C-alpha cells in the first residue's frame, strides 16, 4: 500500500457498481435508521411518560448530548479521511462501531427503576445524559465513515442517485421495523420491560447490519493514496469555500430544522391531540397504537416513492426534483394545523403525501453532495468525503438539538403533564409547533435551494478535469 508521501496513482472512473456491493452497502443504513427513529421519536416520550423524568430535564439531556456529539463529527470525519488502514479509510470504523452501538442502545432504554421518580430526577437525568451521549458518539464513529463511503463507490451522476436510493430503501425498511416492533414489544411485555427488550432486539439487529455492510463493501485504493487532508475544523472551513456546497447545506439545514420538531412531537400529537377513537380500540389489535400506524403510513409512503423520485430526477434533474418535494412538505406541514380529536383519516392523507416527500429528502440531497465532492477534488487535489458529510451531519444534529430542546421546553412551560388529558393551551401549542413552524422552514429551504446551480453538465466538466470521464 503506498504511503501518503508517494505519488497518487492516476484516478480511474468507476461505474457499473455490482448489485451485491450496492446491497451490502445499503444494509448499513438499516442499522442507523432502526436506532435513529426510535431515539428521535420514542426516547423523549419513554423518559417523560414511563421513566418519570420531567419534559424540561429531558430537553436539557437531548440538547447536551446532541451538541456534544455535533462537535465530535468533524473530528471523526478528519480521522476517517486520514486513515490508511489495510481495510480502507471507512470500513474499520463501521465494523468497530457495530457491537458497542448495540450495547449502548440497550442500556439507553434500560434505566434504573425509581419508585419515586420525582425524588430521583438528578440521578435519572445523569443516567440519560451519559447513555444518550455515549450512544450518539459511537453512532458518529460508525456513521460519518459510512455515509462518506457512499460518495466514493461510483463516479456516475445517475448511478450515485441509485446507490443512495438503495441505501435509503434500507433506511426506510429499518424505519418500518422500528415503527412496528417497539409498539408490539411494548404491548406484549408492558411499558418499561417492553422498551428494554426492544433495546436488546434492535441493538442486536443494528450490530448485524453494520457487520454485513462493513464486510461486504470494498474501498478504492486510489483514494487512500491521495494527499492527507487538513485538520478537522480547518477542513470544515475549506469545505465551506465550495460555493455550491454552501447553498446546498443551507437548504438542507433549513429542511432538517423543519423536520426535527414533528419527529419530537409525533407521539404527543397522536396520543393527546388526535387520541384513540373508540372504533380503533374496538377493531385494531392492541400492538398497533395509532402513533405506530401513523409512522408506518409515513415511512411506507417514503419507501414506495423512491423509484418515482429516481425516475423524476433522471428526467428533470436533482434540484428541481428536490424542490418539488419541499413544496409538498410545506403544504402537508401547514395542513396539520387542522388536526383535531379523532381526525385519523385526515392525518393519514397528510402522511401519505408527506412520506413521499420524505423519501425524496433522504435520497436526493446526499447524492448532490457526492457530486460536489468531485468539484472540490478538482480544486484541491484531495478527497474529503468525511469533511463534507461530517459538516452535513453537524448541521442536522445541531438543528435537531435546539429545535427538539425548544419544543420540549415549550411543552414544559405551557403546562404539559405526562399521562393525563392535556389542556387546550397545551394542545394548541403542540399543533402550532407541529404544523406552522415546519411549514415556514420548509418554505425557507425552497428559497435557499433556488440559488443552487450545479448541474449534470458541470459534473461532467469536473470529472473530465480530474480524469474520470
pLDDT (tens digit per residue) in 84-113: 777 888 889 999 999 999 999 999 999 988
Of residues 307 and 396, more confidently modeled: 307
C-alpha span between 302 and 165 (Å, rounded): 11
Single pTM value for the model = 0.74
Q: Are 402 and 441 in contact (CB under 8 A)?
A: no
Look over the chain and give the mean of its residue pLDDT values, rounded to a whole number.
Answer: 84
- State residue 39's pLDDT score: 83
Top-ranked range on mean pLDDT: pick from 119-133, 211-225, 363-377: 119-133
Question: Over 80: is that where the pLDDT of 368 sits?
Answer: yes
Of residues 405 and 132, more confidently modeled: 132
Question: Over 60: is that where the pLDDT of 4 sits?
Answer: no
Residue where the block lists cell 421513566: 51
- State residue 9's pLDDT score: 40
Kindly write down the DSSP assignment for every residue of 123-186, as one continuous string.
HHHHHHHHHHHHHHHHHHHHHHHHHHHHTTS---HHHHHHHHHHHHHHHHHHHHHHHHHHHHHH
Cβ neighbours for 29, distance < 8 A, ≥ 6 positions apart: 146, 167, 168, 170, 171, 174
Q: Among residues 372, 367, 362, 143, which one has the least CA distance to residue 240?
A: 372
Beta bridge partners, 88, equal 85
Question: Per-residue pLDDT averaged across 165-171, rounded?
Answer: 83
- State residue 224's pLDDT score: 60
- State residue 228's pLDDT score: 53
CA 114 to chain centre: 32
Q: Which three three-digit cell numbers place residue 324?
A: 418539488
Question: Over 90: is that where the pLDDT of 442 sits?
Answer: yes
Domain architecture of the chain: domains with CATH: 21-465 (1.20.1250.20)
- State residue 5's pLDDT score: 43
Question: 299-330 pLDDT, tens per residue?
Answer: 889 888 888 888 888 888 889 999 999 999 99
C-alpha span between 292 and 404 (Å, rounded): 20
Question: 227-263 pLDDT, tens per residue?
Answer: 555 565 666 677 888 899 999 999 999 998 898 888 8
- State residue 230's pLDDT score: 57
- State residue 13's pLDDT score: 64
Question: 31-50 pLDDT, tens per residue?
Answer: 988 888 788 778 888 898 88
Question: Over 90: is that where the pLDDT of 381 sits?
Answer: no
Number of H helices, E strands in the chain: 18, 0
Amino acid at each position: 500500500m503506498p504511503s501518503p508521501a508517494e505519488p497518487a496513482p492516476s484516478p480511474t472512473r468507476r461505474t457499473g457498481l455490482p448489485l451485491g456491493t450496492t446491497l451490502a452497502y445499503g444494509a448499513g443504513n438499516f442499522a442507523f435508521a432502526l436506532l435513529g427513529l426510535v431515539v428521535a421519536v420514542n426516547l423523549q416520550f419513554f423518559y417523560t411518560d414511563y421513566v418519570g423524568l420531567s419534559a424540561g430535564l429531558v430537553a436539557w439531556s437531548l440538547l447536551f448530548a446532541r451538541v456534544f456529539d455535533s462537535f465530535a463529527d468533524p473530528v471523526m470525519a478528519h480521522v476517517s479521511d486520514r486513515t490508511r488502514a489495510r481495510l480502507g479509510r471507512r470500513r474499520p470504523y463501521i465494523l468497530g462501531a457495530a457491537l458497542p452501538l448495540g450495547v449502548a442502545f440497550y442500556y439507553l432504554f434500560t434505566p434504573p427503576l425509581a419508585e419515586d421518580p420525582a425524588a430521583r430526577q438528578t440521578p435519572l437525568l445523569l443516567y440519560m445524559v451519559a447513555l444518550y451521549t455515549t450512544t450518539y458518539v459511537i453512532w458518529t464513529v460508525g456513521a460519518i465513515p459510512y455515509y462518506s463511503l457512499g460518495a466514493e463507490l461510483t463516479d456516475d451522476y445517475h448511478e450515485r442517485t441509485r446507490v443512495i436510493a438503495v441505501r435509503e430503501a434500507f433506511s426506510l425498511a429499518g424505519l418500518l421495523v422500528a415503527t412496528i416492533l417497539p409498539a408490539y414489544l411494548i404491548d406484549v411485555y408492558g411499558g418499561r420491560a417492553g422498551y428494554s427488550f426492544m433495546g436488546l432486539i434492535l441493538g442486536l439487529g443494528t450490530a448485524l447490519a453494520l457487520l454485513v455492510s462493513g464486510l461486504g463493501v470494498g474501498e478504492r485504493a486510489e483514494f487512500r493514496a491521495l494527499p492527507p487532508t487538513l485538520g478537522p475544523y480547518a477542513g470544515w472551513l475549506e469545505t465551506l469555500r465550495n460555493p455550491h456546497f454552501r447553498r446546498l447545506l443551507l437548504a438542507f439545514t433549513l429542511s432538517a430544522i423543519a423536520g426535527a420538531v414533528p419527529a419530537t412531537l409525533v407521539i404527543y400529537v397522536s396520543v393527546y391531540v388526535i387520541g384513540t377513537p373508540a372504533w380503533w380500540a374496538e377493531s385494531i389489535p392492541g400492538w398497533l397504537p395509532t402513533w405506530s400506524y401513523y409512522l408506518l403510513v409515513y415511512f411506507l409512503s417514503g419507501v414506495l416513492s423512491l423509484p418515482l423520485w429516481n425516475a423524476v430526477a433522471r428526467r428533470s434533474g436533482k434540484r428541481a426534483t428536490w424542490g418539488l418535494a419541499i413544496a409538498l412538505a410545506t403544504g402537508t406541514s401547514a395542513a396539520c394545523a387542522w388536526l383535531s380529536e379523532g381526525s385519523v383519516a385526515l392525518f393519514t392523507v397528510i402522511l401519505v403525501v408527506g412520506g413521499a416527500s420524505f423519501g425524496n429528502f433522504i435520497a436526493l440531497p446526499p447524492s448532490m453532495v457526492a457530486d460536489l465532492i468531485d468539484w472540490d477534488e478538482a480544486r484541491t487535489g484531495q478527497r474529503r468525503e468525511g469533511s463534507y458529510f461530517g459538516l452535513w451531519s453537524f448541521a442536522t444534529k445541531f438543528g435537531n438539538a435546539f429545535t427538539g430542546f425548544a419544543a420540549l421546553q415549550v411543552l414544559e412551560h405551557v403546562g404539559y403533564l405526562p399521562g393525563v388529558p392535556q389542556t387546550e393551551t397545551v394542545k394548541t401549542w403542540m399543533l402550532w409547533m407541529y404544523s406552522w413552524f415546519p411549514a415556514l422552514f420548509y418554505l425557507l429551504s425552497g428559497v435557499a435551494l433556488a440559488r443552487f446551480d450545479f448541474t449534470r453538465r458541470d459534473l461532467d466538466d469536473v470529472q473530465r478535469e480530474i480524469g474520470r470521464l
